[in-house]
Amino acid sequence: MSRKLLTIAFLGFLTACSDPSRSSAQSSALPGPPLPAAARRAPTDAAQVKLSFAPVVRKVKNAVVNISSKRVVRQIDPFFEMFGAGVPRSRVEGSLGSGVIVRADGVIVTNNHVIEGGQEITVSLEDRREFPAKVLLADPKADLAVLKIDAKDLPTLAISAGEDLQVGDLVLAIGDPFGVGQTVTNGIISALNRTDVGSGSASSFIQTDAAINPGNSGGALVDMNGDLIGVNSMILSRSGGSQGVGFAIPGPVVRQVVEAALGGGKSVARPWLGVAGQAVNGEIARSLGLDRPEGLLLADIYPGSAAARAGLQQGDAILSVDGQPVNDEASLNYRIGTRRAGEEVAIGYQRGGKAQTLRVKVEAPPNRPRDEQLLQGRHPFDGAVVVNLSPATAIDLDVDPFASGVLVTEIRGGLSINAGIRPGDLIREVNGKKISAVAELRAALVQPSRTWSVVIERNGQRISATFG
């Protein structure tokens, strides 16, 4: 299962955070008329912060759009539903968010949770034109979606590689909070490489202190060059309102998802090193001869993976990827996962008290046919949906990529409910026959039997049961 601990208390989106308005009395006391637009320029150092951000805003604002998503939900009145009666009624649910145009022919990136489940998606441009949109690719793991509208010669934002971002850099966030219209906030990068937050497990988030409120999700976080350094996604909040702790999906992840969509893919194939481990703490650091806690101590290496072929071993501590620090499994997966398959990366690691470096060619995780099937019949797995498990499928389903066998992904009723079968169970044996593939499971279940003896693995524990 996923090792990540979700710490987000409430999802939300970036909002306007303009300077407080001056009263008319204060304005009349100001000496001289305001500076004309042509005399304004973006600040280039701390002494110039008092100048205007307007040049940057003018450059980027037309590439930020409003997105509305609607879906029809059929629901029975709960009172009548208790008695198994009632006629389903349809109601329309909607959501509002923001998006960013990344190609002039109408390719737009936004958050997946903005359009998830939407049956009718509308994009509104800054010039008030509206277009229906279709989804090219939805990637829940990164919480990103790529849309397409039928338009040409649109303003765009360039996606930044984000290699030179630093904590303290000035940023602008543009979106459509509360549906009031496009607004701009300014702030700084509060932190980089946040891997312990968010529902999207494929990102290492940029943290910003910009104000965040519903509707800004999917909007642009830009630097002072007007480049897209991130897509605003969520906040950490106790109240649901902005408390100055917001997160954006970084440019490299955005670029990867957009490239996958433009290549015709329906999912994103992220490279995988093939290791599992734990963050190095103070005690482990001392035993490894490190002067401080850093890196990821390798506990397991997948056979035949890129890490295994490169010569990494259990007990090694990975410290960096291409010079960028690695301090937990999530940050390693981000550093590797945002590369293209076939690229070489430099892995810095510690072995036997000595710092070393090796080069690894990263690749997609091993895969095999999922063979997803709904099981039916007079057996304990009636009504269960099962798949063949491989590292690629496991990562897609957010379970342990080192697990193998046949995984129960869903229960759709039937005898499996009474048998206590649950999603996430790994089926190990049926009537004494070891199970490693869906085909083997089906072969075992078609054999007539008056009793069924099964072994499943749940949360690392093996459970045996016999059913009449």
3-state secondary structure 399-466: CCCCCCEEEEEEECCCHHHHHCCCCCCEEEEECCEECCCHHHHHHHHCCCCCCEEEEEEECCEEEEEE
Top pLDDT among 170 and 198 is at 170
Q: What is the model's pLDDT at position 237?
A: 62
Q: Is the pLDDT of residue 446 over 50?
A: yes
pLDDT band (50, 70, 90) for residue 348: very high
Top pLDDT among 461 and 70 is at 461
Please pick, among 217, 242, 305, 331, the residue that the annotation labels catalytic: 217
Q: What is the CATH number of domain 275-361?
A: 2.30.42.10
Sheet-wide strand order for 130-132: 130-132, 120-124, 64-75, 89-103, 107-110, 144-148, 134-139
Determine whether 143 is an active site residue: yes
On average, the pLDDT of the chain sits at: 83
Q: What is the model's pLDDT at position 33?
A: 45
Tokens 């410290």 locate to 319
Tokens 């990867």 locate to 256
- Residue % of the chain over a pLDDT of 70: 80
CB 467 within 8 A of CB 451: yes
Q: What is the model's pLDDT at position 31?
A: 36
How is domain 52-59+158-262 classified at the CATH fold level? Thrombin, subunit H (2.40.10)
CATH 2.60.40.10, domain 61-148, yes or no: no
Burial bucket for residue 353 (CB in 10 Å: 0-12, 13-18, 19+): exposed
Q: Is the pLDDT of residue 116 over 60?
A: yes
Please pick, among 95, 113, 203, 305, the residue that the annotation labels catalytic: 113
Sign of CA dihedral 411, 414, 416, 418: positive
**In this predicted structure, which of 78-82, 139-143, 222-226, 427-431 has the lowest mean pLDDT?**
78-82
Q: What is the model's pLDDT at position 75?
A: 55
How is domain 373-467 classified at the CATH fold level? Pdz3 Domain (2.30.42)
Q: What is the largest CA-CA distance in the chain?
A: 95
**Across residues 425-445, what is the average pLDDT?**
95
**pLDDT tens digits along 63-73:** 999 998 876 55
In order of 88, 208, 322, 329, 399, the CA distances from 296 in angstroms are 53, 26, 15, 7, 20
Q: Is the pLDDT of residue 259 over 90?
A: yes
CB 228 within 8 A of CB 158: yes
Q: Is the pLDDT of residue 93 over 80?
A: no
Enumerate residues 6+ apart whose C-beta is below 8 A from 19. none
Spatial separation of the C-alpha atoms in residues 188 and 63, rounded to whole Å: 21
Q: Is the pLDDT of residue 434 over 70?
A: yes
Q: What is the model's pLDDT at position 25?
A: 34
Which part of the chain is CATH 2.40.10.10? Answer: 52-59+158-262, 61-148
**In this predicted structure, which of 132-141, 238-247, 393-402 has the lowest mean pLDDT?**
238-247
Q: Is the pLDDT of residue 218 over 50?
A: yes
**In this predicted structure, which of 43-47, 221-225, 308-312 has the lowest mean pLDDT?**
43-47
In a 3-state reduction of DSSP, which class is residue 198? coil
b/e map 3-24, b = 16+ CB within 10 Å: ebeeebeebbbbbbbeeeeeee
Determine whether 113 is an active site residue: yes
Q: Is the pLDDT of residue 438 over 70?
A: yes
Enumerate residues 6+ apart whose C-beta is below 8 A from 339. 271, 345, 362
pLDDT band (50, 70, 90) for residue 426: very high
Which part of the chain is CATH 2.30.42.10? Answer: 275-361, 373-467
Q: What is the model's pLDDT at position 48?
A: 60
Q: What is the model's pLDDT at position 185?
A: 87
CA end-to-end distance (rounded Å), the chain: 31
Sign of CA dihedral 25, 30, 32, 37: negative
Q: What is the model's pLDDT at position 16?
A: 32
pLDDT band (50, 70, 90) for residue 88: low
**In this predicted structure, which of 102-111, 121-130, 188-197, 356-365 has the lowest mean pLDDT?**
188-197
DSSP secondary structure code for residue 23 in this structure = P
CB neighbourhood size of 248 (10 A): 28
Q: Is the pLDDT of residue 241 over 60?
A: no
Spatial separation of the C-alpha atoms in residues 376 and 314, rounded to whole Å: 43
Report the predicted TM-score, pTM, of the whole model to 2 decimal places.
0.76
Q: Is the pLDDT of residue 257 over 60?
A: yes
Rounded to 5, what percent of the chain is helix, strand, coil? Answer: 20, 35, 45
Name the residue type at position 298: L
Which element (helix H / strand E) includes 282? helix 282-288
Please pick, among 69, 95, 143, 390, the residue that the annotation labels catalytic: 143
Write out the DSSP string of 340-388: PTT-EEEEEEEETTEEEEEEEE-BPPP------EE--SSSTTTTEEEEE
b/e map 329-350, b = 16+ CB within 10 Å: bbbbbbbbbbbeeeeebebbbb
Determine whether 237 is an active site residue: no
pLDDT band (50, 70, 90) for residue 29: very low
